[in-house]
Chains A and B, each alone.
Chain A
Amino acid sequence: MLNRLSREGPPLATLLHRVADTPPDFLAEPRIGSAGLIHVDAVVGDLLASFGADATAPELQRFADKGPAARNALSVTLLLCWVLAEPWFASASPGKTALLQLLGDSALELAAATPARKFVDDPDRREELVRVALAALGCRPAGESEAQAEDRLTSLSSAERARVIEAARAAELRARQIREALRKKAAEESADKWTRE
């Protein structure tokens, strides 16, 4: 773990600006069935090819043919593709396994409870996105020590995790209250409609 962020990457501010200026193509709807525009599997394939790492069809499959529930994760994958298209990363020659893990699993984790757009609009989430991308490739922002970079990422992620857990708890409580309210006798006996379906 200590050596995880052993390599110094570009300045944090460069990547934060890059995310804030994400072009519309990388914010567009991922193609899912007949909906959406951007074929995320093709974008991932092109990115990996630009790093000299050709992805196989099965490796790209996880970024295609998804149901609506995958939409947010695919949107985060697109954002990460935009971050990784910063010229510095090409010089870093990241490995294919680490890239696929970042674009697949890490995107899924980030997207679990945060809308993709928030990683662009919200300063803390923007920083989290950038730091997760750097860390996945064993890098830290320029000018930071490994410990500083680790601490900052942990603090951003744990605050977000706490928020997500609290939101999930509140959502489950409300869902239970709704289900209970609908089962009450009063709910049953008060549908005073002029016609019944």
Chain B
Amino acid sequence: MIAETITDADRYPTLTESGRQMLRFLREHPNAPIYRNESGNRLSAADVERVRAFERDVLAATVGWRPGEQPSWIGEFITKCYAEVPFYRRLGGAPPRLVDVPTISRADLGRDIAQFVPDSAPVERLINFRTSGTTGHPLLLASHPVVAASYLAFHKRALRRFGIELQHGRGQVGVVLLGYQRECFTYVSVTPTMNDAGLAKINLHERDWRNADDRAKYLEALAPEVIAGDPISFAELLQIDSRVRPRALLCTSMALSEALRATLERQFGCPVLDLYSLNEAGPVAVFDPDAGGHVLLQHQMLVELLAPDGTPVPAGERGEITLTGGFNFCLPLLRYRTGDYASFGSRSGEPVLMGLAGRPPVRFRTMRGEWINNIEVTHALRRLPLAQFALHQMIDGKVRFRLEQSSGDETAVREALLALFGAGQLLQIERVHDFGEKIVQYTSDLPEATL
């Protein structure tokens, strides 16, 4: 098998001289971390224009529907999916009403993602988004460089709610993405729609740095306009004595506690945006304290709140957040059940997701006494073909791992978990016949497990 050779020209097709200097600055700064990976935007000049035009549309658009209503684009969208997406083509002709479209879940996408990629998606440009599998189904999702770049449009829309217009550009760093994991995908890149402003994805874990003090110095040197992360990496950011002053923090992946948000806002003197974002759909909503819930960000996405039987819940009741539409043209969603729950509220005539139950952050205590993020468990088991699993830590530190009856090699699971938790870890592995539709993958009895 011939190894793939990927060059900077592949990663950054429109790289300018200032972009080149930015990459060098990020990589070669004396306090820089050990970058473990390489990645790039892969945007052609035409792509950059397309993303810019999309940003303008997103910033100008309104959500345009109320709970229980169908936006005008839905009929055409259903017809297109039934014509172009293999999974739907097999179901026959397009039904005229959305309620007659069957719902799907992560399990459906996990069985064979190719069945959900429309005929119009260009195979040669596909990229993947890998999900951590909070609901027990690890996924490899189809996407495109333009889709990845389009996230920024929704971030800008969310930031505008907080009175922030991004100002950075050539020669400045736009965003630093934080991780805090023993193993983390880290790289540097540039954002062509912001005139090759810098982007760095770094891991705050000490093992990625020559000197622990470098973390604060590097962040201060980069002076990013935005820092993105999750509650666990932001909690670590609070621990390092950094004078970095971003204009906003973007928090994704897990539910952000009120206490941590307040601490972060105090420490960094800027708003913390709690984004409800999924690999399957991108940024769906942002928490707005004035609205008392998460306001929607995508104008071509319909949200339904469904009961277990697939019918919409009565007004004001909690239901499963179910998505139709979206901007990932390689993975159009039709009634995709997210496994997350909320009720509908309203703010200035626009729907608001109230009491959103996101994916709870869970930490586990290892034999070394250190706390590890649940994502690290996912990563440690990533190479193992596990269909579904759940991990629970008991009050005495013992770990119980449950996996589906028919999948996975218990010995390999045991080895991976002992490598992560340390030798001597008490570990119980159980086979489960059926997890049911929704499982909570990571749980703990230890009070310090949630931040």
Contacts and interface: CB of A to CB of B under 8 A. Distances in A.
B129 interface: yes
Nearest to A185: B4
A174 B114 contact: yes
Nearest to A76: B92
B86 A194 contact: no
A116 B94 CA distance: 10
B143 A186 contact: no
B38 interface: yes
A71 B39 contact: no
Given A189-B37, A189-B39, A178 B92 contact: no
A98 interface: no
Contacts of A32: 102
A32 to B, nearest CB: 8
B148 A193 contact: yes
Interface in A1-43: 29, 32-36
Interface residues of B, number: 68
A175 B91 contact: no
Contacts of B228: 194-196
Contacts of A176: 114
Interface residues of A, number: 42
B126 A192 contact: no
B152 A194 contact: yes
Interface in A145-197: 171, 174-179, 181-197
Contacts of A194: 151-152, 155, 174-175, 177, 191, 199, 226, 228, 250
B90 to A, nearest CB: 7
Contacts of B434: none
B115 interface: yes
Contacts of B432: none
A68 interface: yes
A35 B100 contact: yes
B127 A191 contact: yes
Contacts of A182: 113, 126, 128, 140, 142
Interface string B116-145: 010101011011111110000000101101
B127 A190 contact: yes
11 contacts: A68-B102, A69-B91, A118-B93, A175-B114, A176-B114, A189-B40, A191-B143, A192-B189, A192-B199, A194-B199, A195-B275
